[in-house]
Amino acid sequence: MMRSFFLSVAMLLLIGCVENNVTREELKGKAQGGYSDIIVVCDNNLWNKGLKDDVSFLFSEEIEGLYRSEQNFDITHVRTKSFSPLFKKQRIIVVFNVSSSVSKSGVGYMQDKYSEGQLYVKVSAENFQVASSLLLGSASSLREKLNSHRIHGLQKKIRQFSSDDTKLILKDSLGVQLLLTEYYSSVVKKSDFAYFGKRAKAQCQSGQNSQCSYQMGLFISKMKYDNEKIFEEKAFVSLRDSLTKKFIVGPDKEKPTYMECEKIIPLSSKIMTMSGHYCVEYKGWWNMVNATMGGPFISYLLVDKQSNQLYLIDGFVFAPNFSKRDFLMELEAMIKTFKLN
């Protein structure tokens, strides 16, 4: 009896030590799965009644600016009774609680419910019609919430592998901050322009069963801000093309090769703020003049009115044997760490 008493006391002391020295998130464990994967938890009758179409409309929208269709998020449906601990560790979970016993309808959010780095979304409604209306009515905020969570998760990973060399280059040449992983090396370094590139290999996603090469690039340009017309699409294309023709060049063969914006695929644009400054985001496709190369790009045109300076931060991808979404997400996450010193 006395031995059991001391054993119980020892266990309590041990638990107390764990709680004092280990964070709540560490006890839960890290979130698992892809940054663009969504687990949707609901009963089959709701899913087949129309919830599948609503969810697909919201989260499986196509990424703009690509030659081939790619979905923004990947959806996995899990029945409520199959929502096991394995699924509870995923990064993004959307749960539907639809029952006549629900007294208050709404969409709720919770961070780190089952694991660190997780976004948990709960849609509560008394019937399918209300659940569907709540979901579609929250479309814009839901998309923004999920994308923001994805970007923050990627940024946390990027910080673990960020390069001190690129930090110093950007600080000294442009007076800015931006996190790049150590896999990016300096290609061009000037007082008003910096370009970093990454070359790597990974398992091919199409066409072959071996490793395929891919390339990514990110450049930042600083210039005097003249007027707001620079944010218009035509002016943006002219500005980007002038920079890439000068700095993003290939080997000269019979004719010079350089990057420019593809004219066939329409650009998409969005007005936003970044690091507290007015900014316009552009997404589109680039091609190499006099060479058979092309891929997507994402650009942010930002103005610092206090110093009267305009910044163009641009990331691009060349990955012919891969889907482009994850590469673009990596670039977006890095670019959105941009700050002025």
The answer on 167 and 58 residing in a single domain is no
What is d(CA 130, CA 142) in angstroms, rounded to the nearest whole number?
Answer: 16
Work out the number of other CB atoms within 10 angstroms of the CB of residue 201: 10
Tokens of 75: 């959806």
Strand partners, 304: 309
In a domain, residue 11? The reply is no
Work out the number of other CB atoms within 10 angstroms of the CB of residue 127: 13
Q: What does the pLDDT read at residue 312?
A: 98
Q: Measured between alpha carbons, how far is residue 341 from residues 50, 94, 171, 173, 334 in Å?
A: 50, 39, 7, 12, 17
The answer on 333 and 304 residing in a single domain is yes
The answer on 95 and 212 residing in a single domain is no
What is d(CA 173, CA 61) in angstroms, rounded to the nearest whole number?
Answer: 39
The answer on 183 and 142 residing in a single domain is no
Q: Judge contact between 280 and 299, C-beta under 8 A.
A: no
Q: How many residues make up the chain in this entry?
A: 341
Q: What dihedral angle (degrees, nearest 10) is formed by the CA atoms of 261, 308, 337, 55? A: -60
- Count of structural domains within the chain: 2
Q: Which residues contact 289 (CB under 8 A, 6 or more apart)?
A: 256, 257, 258, 259, 260
pLDDT (tens digit per residue) in 173-215: 899 999 999 999 999 999 999 999 999 999 998 776 788 999 9
pLDDT (tens digit per residue) in 30-51: 999 999 999 999 999 999 999 9
pLDDT (tens digit per residue) in 92-130: 999 999 999 999 999 999 999 999 999 999 999 999 999
The answer on 93 and 223 residing in a single domain is no
pLDDT of residue 26 exceeding 50: no
Confidence label for 22 from pLDDT (cuts 50, 70 and 90): very low
In a domain, residue 6? The reply is no
User: Which CATH number is 216's domain given?
Assistant: 3.40.1000.10
Strand partners, 76: 39
What is d(CA 272, CA 270) in angstroms, rounded to the nearest whole number?
Answer: 6
Q: What does the pLDDT read at residue 5?
A: 36
Confidence label for 18 from pLDDT (cuts 50, 70 and 90): very low
The answer on 222 and 154 residing in a single domain is no
In a domain, residue 8? The reply is no
Last residue of some domain: 158, 183, 213? 158
Work out the number of other CB atoms within 10 angstroms of the CB of residue 48: 11
| Domain containing residue 60 | 21-158
pLDDT of residue 7 exceeding 80: no
Question: Percent of the chain beyond pLDDT 90?
Answer: 78
